[in-house]
């Protein structure tokens, strides 16, 4: 009897120990995972340069960076004067940044965060960003990126102006595309390649492509992939040592379903051939992203971190958003939260839930603020002595 009772006590103690261990791991896994995965402990990275490519979910990333800058009172490299971008589509120059030449020692001022649209020009970027800056960008399958560009820039790009559909354009692009219009036709072919500062009309020769991809790998510590946005955010957070809420975001600058053309597979393949440089770029960094995710996080932690990110986004959706989903411009009651509209795209925005307390309202408002309004807001905070940015859609 005594031996049976002793065995039961031992088993009970073992069960209690297991429950305590599970509870400890559940509470402190966030602290243990960096050690288990080899992630270096330390303060968050605060010097960050994001190359904002076009029609790649980059507006959502920009919002993440703007919020981080405001939360930590960091300086942001903002467009000078009345500009809303950093000289795009011309190659970036340091003088396109407000206050870049106002350093106390006569040298250009350095900033913590750079994330507005620019065409990458490393020597000039280095004039305004610190040596230890973390560089990253985002890419999207050109079969989808070109469709978005066509809708968004239909009336602006000469190659798109006189053709009704992207499918018609892709069937004979040389008929509409003039490669001598290097700048104005940048959105119509290899736009991501162009944003990186390369020749978007160059032949896709193997040696040339490999050399330019090597250039990108040498400078950029990470290339996000739009089709795997949440996985990309998990890896970005890991590398920057940021908190979960720092990388949670609502999708911004998205289009309504009625203005999205669903191309058949053969048309997407034509787009990839037409944008062969972009396709090689995307294909390479899509593969390297997954290799890094498995090497640096591992499948189990990746699944766990993505699930936590999505769960937190859902919590904030229920907390912040009145409708639980993006709305078209006519349905957005606060005109300060209405996004800029372009071309034939119907750009969506958000309504906030009424009755939020002040702190929650500020947090939620930052998460849904369109990029032009947020840029103007940060500009006013950073340069209170200068005239406010004029945002055309707010002055109608």
pLDDT in tens, 120-134: 999 999 999 999 999
Burial degree of 94 (CB within 10 A; 0-12, 13-18, 19+): buried
Higher per-residue confidence, 18 vs 393:
393
Closest CA to 262 of 143, 376, 343: 143
Residue 38 has pLDDT above 50, yes or no: no
Q: Which positions ≥6 away from 323 have C-beta within 8 Å?
A: 331, 350, 351
Q: Taking phi first (over 0 means left), then psi (-120 to 50 degrees means alpha), and beta for anything else, what does residue 220 get?
A: beta
Q: Check if the beta carbon of residue 58 is closer than 8 Å to that of residue 136.
A: no
HSE toward the beta carbon, residue 43, CA cutoff 13 A: 4
Alpha-helix runs per DSSP H in the chain: 2-37, 58-71, 122-125, 142-152, 158-161, 166-171, 191-195, 206-219, 229-240, 244-247, 265-274, 276-296, 299-320, 358-368, 371-382
pLDDT of residue 260: 78
> Taking the model in full, what pTM does it have?
0.88
Residue given tokens 């968050």 in the structure block: 44
* Dihedral over Cα of 226, 227, 229, 231: its sign: negative
**Mean pLDDT across 41-54:** 94
**Mean pLDDT across 66-74:** 98
Rounded Cα distance, 296 and 213, in Å: 22
pLDDT of residue 262: 81
Residue 37 has pLDDT above 60, yes or no: no
Rounded Cα distance, 231 and 308, in Å: 11
* Dihedral over Cα of 74, 80, 85, 88: its sign: negative
Supply 180's token pair: 């001598």
Q: Using pLDDT thresholds of 50, 70 and 90, give the confidence band for residue 36.
A: very low
Instruction: Quick: pLDDT tens for 289-319.
Output: 999 999 999 999 999 999 999 999 999 999 9
Q: Which positions ≥6 away from 23 have C-beta within 8 Å?
A: none
Rounded Cα distance, 103 and 292, in Å: 38
Closest CA to 142 of 301, 280, 297: 280
Instruction: Quick: pLDDT tens for 315-347.
Output: 999 999 998 888 888 889 998 999 888 767 788
**Mean pLDDT, the chain, integer:** 89
Q: Check if the beta carbon of residue 170 is closer than 8 Å to that of residue 143.
A: no
Rounded Cα distance, 322 and 333, in Å: 11
Instruction: Quick: pLDDT tens for 256-288.
Output: 777 777 889 999 999 999 999 999 999 999 999
Q: Tell me the three state secondary structure of residue 178.
A: coil
Residue given tokens 């969506």 in the structure block: 348
Rounded Cα distance, 326 and 304, in Å: 27
Q: Using pLDDT thresholds of 50, 70 and 90, give the confidence band for residue 13.
A: low
Q: Using pLDDT thresholds of 50, 70 and 90, give the confidence band for residue 11.
A: low
pLDDT of residue 31: 38
**Mean pLDDT across 19-41:** 45
| In the chain, % of residues over pLDDT 70 | 87
Q: Using pLDDT thresholds of 50, 70 and 90, give the confidence band for residue 385.
A: very high
pLDDT of residue 21: 54
Instruction: Quick: pLDDT tens for 206-244.
Output: 999 999 999 999 999 999 999 999 999 999 999 999 999
| In the chain, % of residues over pLDDT 90 | 74
pLDDT of residue 7: 58
Q: Which positions ≥6 away from 54 have C-beta within 8 Å?
A: 117, 145, 149, 187, 191, 192, 195
Provide the total of helices (H) and of strands (E) in the chain, helices listed first: 15, 4
Residue 34 has pLDDT above 50, yes or no: no
- The domains of the chain, with CATH numbers, are 43-394 (3.40.50.300)
């Amino acid at each position: 009897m005594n031996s049976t009772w002793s065995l039961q006590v031992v088993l009970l103690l073992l069960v209690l120990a297991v429950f305590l261990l599970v509870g400890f791991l559940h509470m402190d896994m966030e602290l243990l995972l960096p050690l288990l995965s080899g992630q270096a402990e330390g303060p968050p990275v605060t010097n960050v340069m994001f190359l904002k490519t076009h029609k790649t979910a980059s507006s959502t990333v920009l919002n993440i960076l703007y919020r981080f800058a405001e939360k930590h009172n960091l300086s942001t490299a903002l467009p000078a004067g009345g500009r809303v971008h950093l000289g795009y589509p011309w190659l970036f120059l340091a003088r396109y940044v407000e206050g870049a030449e106002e350093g106390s020692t006569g040298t250009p001022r350095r900033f913590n965060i750079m994330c507005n649209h620019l065409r990458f020009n490393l020597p000039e970027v280095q004039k305004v960003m610190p040596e230890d800056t973390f560089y990253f960008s985002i890419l999207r399958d050109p079969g989808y990126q070109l469709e978005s560009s066509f809708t968004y820039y239909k009336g602006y790009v000469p190659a798109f102006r006189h053709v009704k559909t992207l499918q018609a354009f892709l069937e004979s692009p040389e008929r509409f595309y003039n490669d001598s219009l290097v700048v104005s036709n940048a959105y119509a072919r290899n736009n991501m390649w162009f944003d990186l500062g390369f020749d978007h009309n160059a032949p896709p020769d193997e040696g040339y492509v490999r050399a330019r991809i090597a250039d990108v790998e040498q400078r950029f510590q990470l290339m996000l992939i739009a089709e795997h946005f949440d996985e990309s955010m998990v890896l970005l957070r890991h590398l920057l040592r940021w908190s979960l809420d720092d990388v949670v975001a609502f999708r911004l600058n998205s289009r309504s379903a009625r203005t999205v053309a669903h191309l058949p597979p053969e048309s997407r393949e034509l787009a990839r051939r037409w944008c062969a440089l972009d396709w090689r770029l995307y294909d390479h960094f899509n593969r390297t992203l997954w290799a890094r995710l498995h090497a640096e996080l591992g499948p189990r932690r990746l699944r766990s971190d993505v699930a936590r990110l999505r769960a937190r986004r859902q919590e904030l959706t229920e907390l912040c958003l009145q409708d639980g989903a993006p709305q078209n411009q006519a349905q957005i009651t606060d005109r300060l939260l209405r996004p800029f509209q372009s071309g034939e795209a119907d750009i969506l925005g958000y309504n906030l839930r009424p009755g939020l307390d002040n702190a929650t309202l500020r947090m939620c408002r930052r998460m849904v603020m369109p990029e032009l309004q947020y840029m103007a807001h940060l500009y006013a905070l950073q340069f209170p002595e200068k005239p406010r940015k004029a945002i055309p859609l707010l002055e109608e």
